[in-house]
Amino acid sequence: MQERDIDMTKEAILFLSKKGPMRTVVIIVVILIFLLILKPWVQVGAGERGVVLNFGAVQEAVLNEGLHFRIPLVQEVIRMDVKVQKATTDAAAASADLQDVSSTVAINYHILPDKANIVYQTIGIQFKERIIDPAVQEVVKAITAKYTAEQLITMRPAVSDAMKTTLTDRLKEHNITVVAFSIVGFSFSKIFMEAIESKQTADQLAQKAKRDLERIKIEAEQKITAARAEAESLRLQRANISRDLIELRKVEANLKAIEKWNGILPNVTGSGTVPFIGVGDLEKR
């Protein structure tokens, strides 16, 4: 049946080709079908590069974004994504004090655009699984082993910088650039975390006790200073007291008492009674 259909199609084409203008139409249709089947062009999208293969052999030329023509049946174009991509990897390691550490690391990376053909030739398109994840695992283990578990927590920025530098050098060999690196999280055993929490609580209490002691010392010094100042003031006052000053204070006291008197004499009987305070002293003067 298939051979019969093919023969009938050929006869139809030959019949139409003999009909003058229809011949041109048939030729155009055949050409269009041929082009659609062979597809002698390729479009490289934004953030991509085209790797040219001649009968499967990688060529040096790397196609940029846009529309490009290729030789049908001879050339094949593989599109490689060169945009920044994110990869998250979980890694298990041991610290310098032999504590088990589980880390989650996130990196942003991209392949070098002008080296896309080399990446495809040496690694392929599965470069994350083949190169990046193993490299992250190795770097995390190597750097983690240089720090104690407590240092991994307290010196996290330094640990992250060390990991990023090492990983960048490692992936550069494979024409992959690390744009950003971050440690999403460290996790330790429950016993270790409880020990760290207890130590931090003890340190906080010790610091509080130290601050309280310093405060008590300062308050005591302030009291001593105030007492010394008061004693010095009294000494100076005693040194400046004279008989004339004492008499002046008595006169001032009597005058204040007179100012407060309401003009009513006290109901007191007896000889020699003086109703005014300090009048006798005034008479003596």
Residue 54 has pLDDT above 70, yes or no: yes
Per the model's pLDDT, the better-predicted residue between 243 and 55 turns out to be 55
Q: Is the domain of 159 the same as that of 101?
A: yes
Q: Among 145-154, 207-216, 264-273, whose mean pLDDT is lowest?
A: 264-273
Q: Among 120-129, 137-146, 160-169, 255-264, whose mean pLDDT is lowest?
A: 255-264
pLDDT, tens digit (0-9, with 9 covering 90-100), for 188-210: 877 777 777 777 777 777 888 78
* 274 belongs to a structural domain: no
pLDDT of residue 279: 46
Mean pLDDT of 90-98: 88
Q: Is the domain of 69 the same as that of 124?
A: no
Q: Which residue has the tokens 């920044």?
A: 84
Determine contact, residues 196/153, Cβ cutoff 8 Å. yes
Q: Is the domain of 94 the same as that of 60?
A: no
Q: Is the domain of 94 the same as that of 61?
A: no
Q: Among 14-23, 103-112, 139-148, 178-187, whose mean pLDDT is lowest?
A: 14-23
The partner residues of 67 in beta bridges, in order of sequence, read 43
Q: How far apart are CA 81 and CA 84, in angstroms?
A: 9
| Position 13 confidence tier, pLDDT thresholds 50, 70, 90 | low
* 246 belongs to a structural domain: no
Q: How far apart are CA 231 and CA 237, in angstroms?
A: 10
Percentage of the chain lying above the pLDDT 70 cut: 72
Q: Is the domain of 146 the same as that of 184?
A: yes
pLDDT of residue 175: 95
| Position 22 confidence tier, pLDDT thresholds 50, 70, 90 | low
Q: Is the domain of 92 the same as that of 189?
A: yes
Per the model's pLDDT, the better-predicted residue between 228 and 93 turns out to be 93
* 175 belongs to a structural domain: yes
Q: Is the domain of 178 the same as that of 108?
A: yes
pLDDT of residue 285: 47
Q: Is the domain of 150 the same as that of 127?
A: yes
**What is the reported pTM?**
0.57
Q: Which residue has the tokens 């005591």?
A: 220
> Of the candidates 34, 52, 81, which is a domain's last residue?
81
pLDDT, tens digit (0-9, with 9 covering 90-100), for 244-285: 666 767 777 777 777 766 666 556 555 555 554 454 444 444
* 167 belongs to a structural domain: yes
Q: Is the domain of 99 the same as that of 70?
A: no
- Residue type at 263 in one-letter notation: G
Q: Is the domain of 160 the same as that of 76?
A: no
Cβ-Cβ contacts under 8 Å for 113 (sequence gap 6 or more): 49, 62, 82
* 107 belongs to a structural domain: yes
Residue ranges making up the domain that contains 41: 2-81
| Position 17 confidence tier, pLDDT thresholds 50, 70, 90 | low
> Of the candidates 30, 50, 81, which is a domain's last residue?
81
* 205 belongs to a structural domain: no
- Mean pLDDT taken over the chain: 79
* 217 belongs to a structural domain: no
Q: How many domains does the chain have?
A: 2
Q: How far apart are CA 39 and CA 29, in angstroms?
A: 15
* 219 belongs to a structural domain: no
> Of the candidates 43, 59, 81, which is a domain's last residue?
81
Per the model's pLDDT, the better-predicted residue between 201 and 174 turns out to be 174
Residue 223 has pLDDT above 70, yes or no: yes
